[in-house]
Amino acid sequence: MTDWLAVARELATRLSSDAADRDRANQAPVKEVELLRQSGLLGVADWTTQLAVGRIIGAADANIGHLLGYHYLQIWRSGLFDKPVRTQPDWFWAGVSNPLDAALELMPTESGFVVNGRKTFATGAAVADRLVVSATRTDNGEKITFLVDGKASGLSFPGDWDNIGQRLTASGGVLFENVEVPAEAVLGVQPTGEHPRLSLAALGFQLVLAQLYVAMAEGALAEAAEYTRSKTRPWFVSGVDAAVEDPHILVSYGEMVAQVRAAGLLADQAGAELLEASEAGTALTKEKRGEVAVTISAAKVVSTKVANEVTSRIFEQVGARGTAAGYGLDRFWRNARTLTLHDPVVYKAREVGENYLTGARPACTGYS
């Protein structure tokens, strides 16, 4: 039986060795996806193992952890429709389904549909083998989720992602020009009201992000700690011979390690609850779905704060020399600062607070 965590750690070592260089090169992650393919990690099926693997890869390179987390998510999300989905263990999956961007239109044909339009944002789509796409029918307004070959005729990718972080996620726009969608590629209709099981997809996205935020903090801590051990000089009035003996540095690392571990445990609890809800099938109630949503929102709140604080605070421990471009420690902060803006975390805190005070469940939306 393959030890997937060992495989992930081996690949993580390889990714972290040149992560700063690849970040500066800012190239499409074609080689990185191929490494995932060759490692066999794309085919990991166990939920708990997926979360652990995602954290390991995400700590080494948040870009590739992001791609891998969304890959697992899209396969799981497709299964929520209770329709057999054909896949292969070496296929890389991505999605084109920004809830606030209803720019894709599906026109019915005799054999299925034709989709046209442009999505302004998608992660990993430009390097994917399979895409999970959502679009609106032109005849009745239904929102349909369906599968598309990543190399389908009529698909193009402008390559317009130019943000300060997550630069290697193949993010950006996707253009559909008369892309054919056969009837058998349709997964189903997205409900307009509350549907506990299908609405779990939105929670899955939030969970992946919370787990990745923890991974960013873990990666920043690990790399900063190595720098502190080997390069940081003790301040001349500290009275110690090595930075690792400085009580102020020790306390800072102790606080950060405790915060990251706490965030990780909460994110793992959220993952376990979402798995239980997913496995409940049609027996899943609105009340249980709401409980899971609150836990995931809590994990998002905590992990967001920890990721942004730790990726910034590490510079106080490495010192001025640690800001040299060659070390690339700034990439952790840039990645965290970029991705934690994915949707306003203040609304997640509001959901948790409202539930605590009044018992209200978070509304079923594309983000909660």
Running along the chain, 368 residues long, what does each successive block of 10 average in pLDDT? Answer: 97 97 95 98 97 98 98 96 90 91 90 95 96 95 95 96 96 96 94 83 97 98 97 92 95 98 98 97 94 98 98 96 94 98 96 98 91
Residues 182 and 209 in one domain: no
Phi, psi of 262 (to 5 degrees): -65, -45
CATH code for the domain in which residue 14 is found:
1.10.540.10
Q: How far apart are CA 287 and CA 157, in angstroms?
A: 41
Residues 40 and 144 in one domain: no
Domain count, the chain: 3
Residues 11 and 131 in one domain: no
Q: What is the pLDDT of residues 346-360, one digit of tens each?
A: 999 999 999 999 999
Q: What is the pLDDT of residues 82-102, one digit of tens each?
A: 888 889 999 999 999 888 777
H and E: helices and strands count for the chain: 10, 8
Of 57, 79, 101, the last residue of a domain is 79
Structural domain contains residue 241? yes
- Structure token pair of residue 66: 């992001």
Q: How far apart are CA 15 and CA 32, in angstroms?
A: 8
Structural domain contains residue 272? yes
Of 29, 44, 79, the last residue of a domain is 79
Residues 204 and 184 in one domain: no
Phi, psi of 180 (to 5 degrees): -80, 140
Residue at token pair 């102020």: 248
**Radius of gyration from C-alpha coordinates of the chain:** 21
In this structure, the chain runs to a length of 368
Q: How far apart are CA 360 and CA 17, in angstroms?
A: 47
Structural domain contains residue 84? no
Structural domain of residue 117, as residue ranges?
93-189
pTM of the model: 0.97
Burial 272-295 (b: 16+ CB within 10 A, else e): ebbbebbeeeeebeeebbbbbbbb
Residues 350 and 208 in one domain: yes
Residues 62 and 8 in one domain: yes
Residues 354 and 206 in one domain: yes
Q: Dihedral (C-alpha) 150, 155, 159, 161: value to the nearest 10 degrees?
A: -70
Cβ-count burial of 188 within 10 angstroms (0-12 exposed, 13-18 middle, 19+ buried)? Answer: middle
Of 21, 53, 79, the last residue of a domain is 79
